[in-house]
């Protein structure tokens, strides 16, 4: 009698090699994050000596004190929070609204609009024409430069449209019988049942808004209106200890922090909000990624 649960030597060896490979991948992926974290919590001058690999050798919070003591850093943080919250809200709502209209099969010219959007995904104008357009729209040195140019994404529209087409037509027909118009159906029926795709797009665009440094670097010369990632970019590009001491001058922590320790602490501060937000959106994110993968 054949025992189905018996495993061959080849299967056992494969599982062992597979587990070892997964552990190696996890280590290679997670150790750089751990390295940044332990050095951010280590004394700056002591970290310059090297040899810190697993745990802080001289635990210190002065790097983070320097980060929060600088008005430039905190101002950049608030700019980032504001543009992320406002940008995500407008992006999700506007893209969902357009996607709902395009997803209606009775829309005249719907295929033509999809064709135009597809062309924009393949071809781009380039940096110089985009800069001239932003200038003509009077968005240079304007907070709205973080919001308006990315308020719509055709790629996200495709994800929304795929989800909306799977919503049963009976829901909309019942609402129309009760006298609901298109706006009422969209706001009271479509959006409430679309939480998975809404959370997915919000997470995508939220990560983009939080990590975007290029927009502030190109279109915003006023440092008081630049986000935290642009501030961090300047720190990395100008990694001089004297520059960082000037950035936090007037604080007692200038005697112990270094430019490298400030960079690592700033990286930790800018990454934590996304890390904390992800677990709350994960279940919606997984559902949203399955959109259109199973039919029938």
Predicted confidence (pLDDT) per residue in 5-18, tens digit: 566 777 777 778 88
Structure tokens at 50: 């090297």
**Residue-level pLDDT at 70:** 67
Averaged pLDDT for residues 134-160: 88
CA angle 98, 102, 107 (to 5 degrees): 125
- pLDDT of 295 over the 50 cut: no
**Residue-level pLDDT at 212:** 86
* Helix-helix angle 195-211:71-103, to 10 degrees: 140
220 burial (CB, 10 Å; 0-12 / 13-18 / 19+) is buried
Predicted confidence (pLDDT) per residue in 38-91, tens digit: 887 887 776 777 777 788 777 877 777 777 776 677 788 888 889 999 999 999
List C-alpha distances in Å: 183 to 15, 29, 176, 235: 54, 46, 11, 47
Report how far Cα 291 is from the mean position of its chain's Cα atoms.
Answer: 20
Looking up tokens 């040899």 gives 51
Tell me the pTM: 0.72
Structure tokens at 268: 């930790």
Predicted confidence (pLDDT) per residue in 230-271, tens digit: 877 776 665 554 444 444 544 444 456 666 777 777 778 777
Element housing 246 (H / E):
helix 241-247
Q: What is the spatial distance between Cα 211 and Cα 14, in angstroms, rounded to a whole number?
A: 39
Looking up tokens 């980060």 gives 67
């Amino acid at each position: 009698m054949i025992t189905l649960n018996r495993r061959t030597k080849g299967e056992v060896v494969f599982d062992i090699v597979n587990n070892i490979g997964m552990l190696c991948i996890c280590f290679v992926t997670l150790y750089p994050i751990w390295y940044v974290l332990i050095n951010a919590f280590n004394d700056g001058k002591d970290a310059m000596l090297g040899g810190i690999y697993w745990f802080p050798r001289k635990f210190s919070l002065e790097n983070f004190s320097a980060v929060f003591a600088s008005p430039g850093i905190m101002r950049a943080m608030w700019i980032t929070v504001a543009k992320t919250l406002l940008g995500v809200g407008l992006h999700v709502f506007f893209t969902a609204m357009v996607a709902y209209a395009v997803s209606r099969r009775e829309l005249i010219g719907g295929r033509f609009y999809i064709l135009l959007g597809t062309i924009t995904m393949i071809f781009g104008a380039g940096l110089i024409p985009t800069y001239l357009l932003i200038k003509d729209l009077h968005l240079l040195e304007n907070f709205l430069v973080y919001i308006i140019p990315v308020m719509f994404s055709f790629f996200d529209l495709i994800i929304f449209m795929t989800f909306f087409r799977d919503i049963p037509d009976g829901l909309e027909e019942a609402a129309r019988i009760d006298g609901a118009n298109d706006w009422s159906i969209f706001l009271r029926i479509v959006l409430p049942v679309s939480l998975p795709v809404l959370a997915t797009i919000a997470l995508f665009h939220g990560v983009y808004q939080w990590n975007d440094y290029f927009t502030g670097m190109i279109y915003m010369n006023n440092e008081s209106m630049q986000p935290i990632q642009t501030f961090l970019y300047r720190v990395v590009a100008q990694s001089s200890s004297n520059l960082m001491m000037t950035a936090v001058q007037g604080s007692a922590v200038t005697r112990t922090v270094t430019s490298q320790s400030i960079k690592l602490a700033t990286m930790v501060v800018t990454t934590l909000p996304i890390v904390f937000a992800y677990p709350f959106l994960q279940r919606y994110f997984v559902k949203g990624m399955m959109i259109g993968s199973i039919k029938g």
